[in-house]
Every structure is written in structure tokens, then in C-alpha cells.
Amino acid sequence: MNILKDSFGRKFPYIRLSISDVCNFKCGYCLPDGYKIDRSDNRKFLNIEEIGRLAKALSELGVSKIRLTGGEPTVRKDFFEIIKIIKENSGIKKTVMTTNGYRLDKIAEDIKNSGLDGINISIDSLNADTFKKITGHDRLEEILKGIKNLQKLNFKNIKINAVLLKGINDSEKDFDDWAEFLKNNEIDFRYIELMQTGDNIDYFNNYHVPAKKFTDYLNNNNWIIQTFGKDAGPSKNYLNPKFKGKFGVIAPYSKDFCKSCNRLRITAKGDLRLCLFGNTGINIRHLMQKDNQIEELKDLILKQLNFKKESHYLEIGDTGLTKNLSTTGG
């Protein structure tokens, strides 16, 4: 079996598949003015049949995990049908999602019953006022209720992501609040270092803080770094025997960050992106139209890996094709 492997020896068992650019939040680091339709691109989002064929092709290339992202994936009315077709009609072993938690309190049972294998929820602060300031929505209580509902249903693989923002959610009290939350919750929480994109340069300059600020906190408070295999991905995770949950850090500006890259991205309109901040992308949607195109689709994806670079160039301000994180799922 041909597997996804680039010229630097990195394997790619993991695909981040955006199923919608639409998001109903207004996070300052992503869509501060809310979602706006791109009038220059009138293509519709991938339909369920196209997604099914894509998942089958990817599984035959050794992909074992698909993460459904957005935008906000649950705004799609056929969201649970998408999970079903991936899980039933392909060899993908793990189907997970990233969400802003909108309606989580109402759809927790549907998520459990869908067979979804994991969920990442974006919660940038446990302070309701700060949460509203970042996202534009006063919905923290609803989202936390949704997490409790999932836990009551014995849904196990729950992770929380937050973007680290200078002067907003990077104080020692913010870190302590999350530590207290993790004391009795079997949840992974990760801070993600703010990344520059094509349209957030001023925001980045105002609010970027190196991830080292948080790793210093972890090192000073008896959190121990957890070691994984070389295919584990870019998150560095920390354990403390006194806590049920784990901390994690994703630091894209750190040295050798890209050496552990294990994922490719596909946009909601069918563009293959080799890197979140790459300068190249190719549309592969035309090979998702018929069942007899799967071999051709696999061949095209394999050939594109020859163009994957060893690293992104964020450290010199090159953000590639990414205007904002809603187009490629972050």
C-alpha cells in the first residue's frame, strides 16, 4: 500500500478536513468582524458524497484519523451524516472534531451517539467577561454545561484549546484557573501560541506572547513533560500526578516545530494544503465526483507531497496562503 510520506521522511496519518468556512463567533485572532462570504470564490462546500469518496481514498493511503474542522463544522445541517459516512464507508479509524462549543449543551447526546471518537473545544478563558471579549459571545456557561453533559454520557476524549494572548489570558491567575479546572476533570487543555495570518498582522503584533511564558509556569509548578513517539504531532504535553487532566503547548515559532508534522489539510471547497502556512495548494475536488476516480485521486495526492517544504516560514512573517484560520481549520 502506498502511504503518505514526504521527501523528508515524515508520514501523514492525519488529515484536517474543513467542512465549512462559516463561523458564528467573532474571535479577535481569526474573524474579528465575523464571517463574510468570499464573493471571489462561488464554489459550494464539499457535499457528503464527495467527502465519502475522499475519506475512502485517504484511508487507502494510510490515513487513520480525520479531524472535522471549519469555520464551525456543526453549522452544517448534515454534520452528523458526514460523521456517519466517514465511519461506515471508509477505513478511517478515528473521526474527531474541533468546535467552538456552540450548541454543545444541546447536541451532546447526538455527539455521543454519532460514534465520534474525540472533540476539541475552543475556550480561550474561564472568565466569562474575557471569553466574551475574545469571541464576541457570552456563551461560556453554555459551553461548560455542554462539556459536563458529555462527561455524564461517559464521552472520554475531550480536549480544550485556547489561543495565548498577551494581556488578555496569559496571567498567572489564568494559568492557575485552568490548573484548578484540570484537578478534577480528565481533560487535556492546550495553549496555542498566537500565529500571524494574512489579515491579522496588527492583532498579532499587539497580542503575541511566546509560548515559553506558559512552559515556564508549567516547569515551575511541577508539571512533567510527557514523551511520545515521533508521529505524535506538534503538541508537547505535561503531566502532574495530583491532577486528572493534562496541560499541553503548541508553539509554532519554536525551533524544529515542523519536524514532527504529521498532518495535511483539505479546505471546505476541496483544496489540498500541504501546510497551514504554505504557499501552494491544489484543488482535488474534480476527482471526488465518481467512485471510479478514487485511484486517480490517490495518485494526485501522493504526487503533491513532493512539493511539501521542510518547514513553514512564520518566523520571517511569511504566512503563505492563509488569510485567516477559518479557511483551513487552524
- Dump pLDDT digits (tens) for 60-118: 999 999 999 999 999 999 999 999 999 998 899 999 999 999 999 999 999 999 999 99
Helices marked H in the chain: 48-59, 79-89, 104-114, 128-135, 140-152, 172-183, 201-207, 212-220, 294-304
Domain spanning 14-162+258-327, CATH class = alpha beta
Nearest to 284, CA basis, from 276, 294, 292: 294
What radius of gyration do the chain's Cα atoms show? 19
Per DSSP, the chain holds a count of helices (H) and strands (E) of 9, 12
Report domain extents, the chain.
14-162+258-327
- Considering Cα of 25, then 79, then 13, then 117, what sign does the dihedral take? positive
- Dump pLDDT digits (tens) for 179-237: 999 999 999 999 999 988 867 789 999 999 999 999 999 999 999 998 765 445 678 99
For the CA atoms of 41, 44, 50, 51, the dihedral, rounded to the nearest 10 degrees, stands at 90
Which is it for strands 246-250 and 236-239: parallel, antiparallel or unpaired?
A: antiparallel
pTM: 0.92
- The rounded distance, in Å, linking the Cα atoms of 301 and 47 is 19
pLDDT of residue 323: 60
Q: Residue 168 is placed in which grid cell? A: 488578555
